[in-house]
Amino acid sequence: MPEGDSVLQLSNRLQWMPGRTITRTDVRVPRFATANLDGQLVHRVWPYGKHLFMHVGDTIIHTHLKMEGVWSIHAVGQRWRRQAYTARIVLRLTPQHPGGADIELVGHDLGFVRLFPLSDYDATVAHLGPDILDPEFPTALFRDTGRTGRDETIRRIMRRPERALGAALLDQKNVAGIGNEYRAEIMFLMGLHPAIPVGEAGLKRVERAVDLSRRVMWENRLGPKRVFTGDRRPGMTAYVFGRAGRACRRCGAAICKSTLGGRWAGGDPELDSAELERIIWWCPECQVGREDWE
Ligand SMILES: [Zn+2]
């Protein structure tokens, strides 16, 4: 599932783009269908949490993978890897070598595609918390908060003591980049049930959860597969994510599965309703704080 590390890797794969010129623009989203960036130079491509940005001419192309999105890169004329109707944006760029074929970049099944002027960038990302995979997350001041990205993340999470820690970690307004798989594994590594309220967990454990999220995501950021257990063998990489009914690797109890929606985070206007429904996995023996959870 695409999380901040997936988008960082995608951005890394697209670093051949800056310095190239767009030769054809085809945005297959009604609102931007007439957009034309032909002849414009690609200045920069970068991730922010789960969002991908491309600065082209004076325009920003803003995309999100959501659940199923994928970008494919090939020479013009080559067969697409997915059905044409799934394409949301098709960009052609000048070739690598003079006389070569243009390069085609196709965004399939993207959660959204938006274009806006460069000057709107700050306002567009204003709602997002610090990017957990920003190299300077632990050290640099975040915007004008006077705090590092790490400290601002902790402050934002602590503002809502009644809220489930598992929901707070997933809220992109607190910290950008953490998704469901990391949330599940971090809460296991913390030994806490994902629904434990922030206030009950307390500041020290919230700090640990943020530091652990950063460390684990940073370690995994360039790898082909996320590893939480230290064991890279297929089927051995996770403690709880996707392991409902199977034996806990630490204690042998059957891993539980439910959703975080309704009981703790329900009715929370700050949390996307789709996120609310996202599944949680936990070990009933190793993770404390919600022993009554069904
Ligand atoms: Zn266990």
What's residue 274's pLDDT? 55
Pick the CATH number of 149-282 from 1.10.8.50, 3.40.50.1580, 3.40.50.300, 1.10.3470.10: 1.10.8.50
Residue 25: what residue type? T
Distance 206 CA to ligand 1 centre (A): 21
- Ligand 1 (ion): residues with CB under 5 Å are 248, 250-251, 253, 283, 285-286
Residue positions annotated with a catalytic role: 2-3, 50, 278
Strands 42-48 and 112-117: unpaired
Q: What is the CATH number of domain 4-125?
A: 3.20.190.10
Count how many Cα atoms sit within 13 Å of the Cα of residue 292 in the half-sphere of its side chain: 3
**pLDDT at residue 261, as a whole number:** 64
User: pLDDT per residue over 57-102, tens digit each?
Assistant: 999 999 999 888 999 999 999 999 899 999 999 999 999 888 999 9
Enter the tokens of residue 277.
């429904």
Question: Using only C-alpha atoms, what is the Rg of the chain?
Answer: 21
Whole-number pLDDT of residue 294: 61
Give pLDDT, residue 13.
Answer: 97
Where do you find CATH 1.10.8.50 in the chain? 149-282
Euclidean distance between CA atoms 153 and 175, whole angstroms? 6
C-alpha 90 – ligand 1 centre gap (Å)? 47
Distance between Cα 240 and ligand 1 center (Å): 9
Q: How many A from CA of 185 to the centre of ligand 1?
A: 12
Flag residues of the chain having pLDDT under 70: 261-277, 294
Convert the pLDDT of each residue in 142-161 to its tens digit: 999 999 999 999 999 999 99
Contacts of 3 (CB under 8 A, 6+ apart): 50, 177, 178, 179, 180, 181, 182, 217
Q: How far away, in angstroms, is 255 Cα from ligand 1 center? A: 7
pLDDT at 269: 45
* C-alpha to C-alpha distances, 60 to 105, 116, 125, 142, 194, nearest whole angstrom: 16, 5, 12, 22, 36
